[in-house]
């Protein structure tokens, strides 16, 4: 039998969570309305509307990760889910090519469990660092080959793991950022969006089973895409590419799509996020919010961060907005400041 004391504690914990999310919703209704006034063509027309149910937003220990080194911040919250399956990883100075240092940022969105996302968090950046050794200056094709090999190795390691992981997987979006370029490798339905000169520029394309080219690939391999609460591979998985998910191969593949974007003086920031963010917030609104945070015009309402830097505010505000707009998933976001220091005049 359950301990009555434990049951009471659980009920009290849930009650506190409901009160926190109601308070957050109430506060954000006013802020969202103000943003809608200036961005009426975008906000309010993306994803599902806010639900009246009581979501599970934060675990008892808050389930928040906010690390900031002045140029980036990360935020992860459990959202409405009972389990946290998202992971994030940041490695500054991961590697160097011809004396140019590269930083690594990644969001891992697990499904069926957190095991694969956790393994990816511990290993993918190490694999990238191992594979990049010996490479000289690389063009887009070479970056593509490199990242494809890294994801293939990561997938092989996962599939050689415990039997319990055969039905577990993770979407991945990873960015390797140097002084001259931003390399993004995407496998699944996480997303990378670049803020540049007032414009939202997507650097990845979600791998959804209903995407025309993905649907054709799956059917050519002998699989089926079934519309069961959204398009799903064999009626099961809502993403068409991932690390893991061995039981759905060869229909679900681990090959990433890779983009290489040359940096410019007009670059502002990069947003990496799980679909818990992007299902309810458009690229344009997300970028507008980050710009407002950078300009000191918008601040978080409830989530705790380790400092008050503009990147920490931006990551927290995006997570709060996703909750307020009814996101049904874990929410993870990384915001990277790409603005170059202004040179002082002589």
- pLDDT (tens, 9 = 90+) of the chain, 346 residues, equals 555 554 454 555 555 555 555 555 545 555 555 555 555 444 433 333 333 333 334 433 333 344 444 489 999 999 889 999 999 999 999 887 777 889 999 999 999 999 999 999 999 999 999 999 877 778 889 999 999 999 999 999 999 988 778 999 999 999 999 999 999 999 999 999 999 999 999 999 999 999 999 999 999 999 999 998 899 999 999 999 999 999 999 999 999 999 999 999 999 999 999 999 999 999 999 999 999 999 998 888 766 666 678 999 999 999 999 999 999 999 999 999 999 876 544 4
The pLDDT, as a whole number, for residue 155 is: 98
Superfamily, domain 36-337: PPM-type phosphatase domain (3.60.40.10)
DSSP symbol at 163:
G
- Residue among 151, 175, 194 nearest 94 (CA): 175
The pLDDT, as a whole number, for residue 280 is: 97
The pLDDT, as a whole number, for residue 31 is: 57
Tokens 């969570």 sit at which residue? Answer: 17
Please give the structure tokens belonging to residue 100: 């140019």
Work out the number of other CB atoms within 10 angstroms of the CB of residue 304.
11
* Strands of the sheet with 267-273, listed across from one edge: 72-77, 331-337, 267-273, 191-196, 199-202
Classify strands 169-177 and 181-187 as parallel, antiparallel or unpaired: antiparallel
Answer whether 68's CB lies under 8 Å from 90's CB.
no
Work out the number of other CB atoms within 10 angstroms of the CB of residue 185.
27
The pLDDT, as a whole number, for residue 218 is: 98
- Residue 296 and residue 290: Cα distance in Å, rounded? 10
The pLDDT, as a whole number, for residue 27 is: 52
- Residue 258 and residue 264: Cα distance in Å, rounded? 19
The pLDDT, as a whole number, for residue 133 is: 86
- Residue 172 and residue 190: Cα distance in Å, rounded? 6
**Model's pTM, two decimal places?**
0.84
Q: Is the dihedral of CA 122, 170, 89, 93 positive or negative?
A: positive
């Amino acid at each position: 039998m359950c301990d009555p004391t434990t049951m009471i504690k659980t009920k009290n914990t849930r009650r506190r969570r409901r009160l926190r999310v109601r308070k957050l919703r109430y506060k954000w209704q006013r802020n969202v309305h103000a943003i809608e006034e200036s961005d009426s063509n975008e906000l309010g027309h993306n994803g599902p509307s806010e639900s009246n149910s009581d979501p599970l937003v934060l675990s008892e220990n808050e389930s928040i990760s906010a690390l900031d080194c002045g140029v980036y911040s990360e935020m992860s919250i459990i959202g409405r889910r009972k389990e946290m399956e998202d992971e994030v990883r940041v490695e500054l100075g991961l590697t160097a090519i011809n004396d140019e240092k590269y930083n690594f940022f990644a969001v891992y969105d697990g499904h069926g469990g957190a095991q694969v996302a956790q393994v990816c968090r511990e290993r993918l950046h190490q694999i990238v660092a191992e594979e990049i050794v010996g490479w000289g200056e690389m063009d887009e094709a070479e970056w593509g080959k490199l990242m494809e090999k890294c994801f293939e190795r990561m997938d092989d390691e996962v599939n050689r793991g415990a039997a319990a992981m055969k039905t577990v997987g993770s979407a991945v979006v990873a960015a390797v950022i140097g002084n001259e370029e931003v390399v993004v490798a995407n496998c699944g339905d996480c997303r990378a969006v670049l803020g540049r000169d007032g414009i939202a520029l997507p650097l990845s394309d979600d791998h959804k089973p209903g995407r025309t080219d993905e649907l054709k690939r799956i059917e050519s391999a002998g699989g089926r895409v079934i519309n069961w609460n959204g398009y799903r591979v064999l009626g099961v998985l809502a993403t068409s590419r991932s690390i893991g998910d061995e039981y759905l191969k060869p229909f679900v593949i681990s090959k990433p799509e890779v983009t290489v974007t040359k940096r410019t003086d007009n670059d502002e920031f990069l947003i990496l996020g799980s679909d818990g963010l992007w299902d309810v917030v458009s690229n344009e609104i997300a970028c507008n919010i980050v710009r407002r945070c950078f300009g000191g015009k918008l601040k978080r309402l409830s989530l705790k961060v380790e400092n008050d830097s503009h990147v920490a505010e931006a990551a927290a505000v995006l997570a709060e907005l996703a909750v307020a707009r009814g996101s049904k998933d874990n929410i993870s976001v990384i915001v990277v400041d790409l603005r170059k220091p202004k040179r002082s005049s002589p």
